[in-house]
């Protein structure tokens, strides 16, 4: 993949598109899409995996920051989500 495609992949992943959807947007030939999706999801160390995860995690971070901000402001739903995030963080050891 070109550097431009890697940047686009990260941008599309930050919009929470699936690897299959991203493959179509990047004009990856149909016969190569399955392998592309595998690289995005599971093949750590590949440019595709790293770009996909960076994009996805950047959005996850932004969303979580918003939830925590709302929880601190007293939103009961946001407080429940923030508690869930804490539990997930403690499980992921």
Count of structural domains, the chain: 1
Structural domain range at position 43: 3-91
End-to-end CA distance of the chain: 33
Using one digit for the tens of pLDDT, what is the confidence trace for 17-54? Answer: 999 999 999 999 999 999 999 999 999 999 999 999 99
Residue 93 confidence (pLDDT) = 59
Kindly indicate the confidence band of residue 91, based on its pLDDT and cuts at 50, 70 and 90.
confident
Residue reference for tokens 């899409």: 33
In whole angstroms, give the CA distance from residue 21 to residue 19.
Answer: 5
């Amino acid at each position: 993949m070109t550097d431009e495609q890697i940047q686009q992949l990260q941008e599309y992943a930050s919009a929470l598109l699936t690897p299959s959807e991203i493959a179509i947007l990047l004009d990856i030939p149909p016969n190569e899409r399955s392998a592309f999706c595998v690289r995005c999801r599971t093949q750590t160390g590949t440019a595709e995996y790293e770009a996909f995860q960076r994009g996805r995690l950047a959005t996850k971070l932004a969303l979580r920051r918003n939830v925590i901000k709302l929880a601190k402001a007293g939103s009961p739903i946001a407080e429940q989500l923030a508690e869930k995030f804490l539990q997930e963080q403690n499980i992921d050891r």
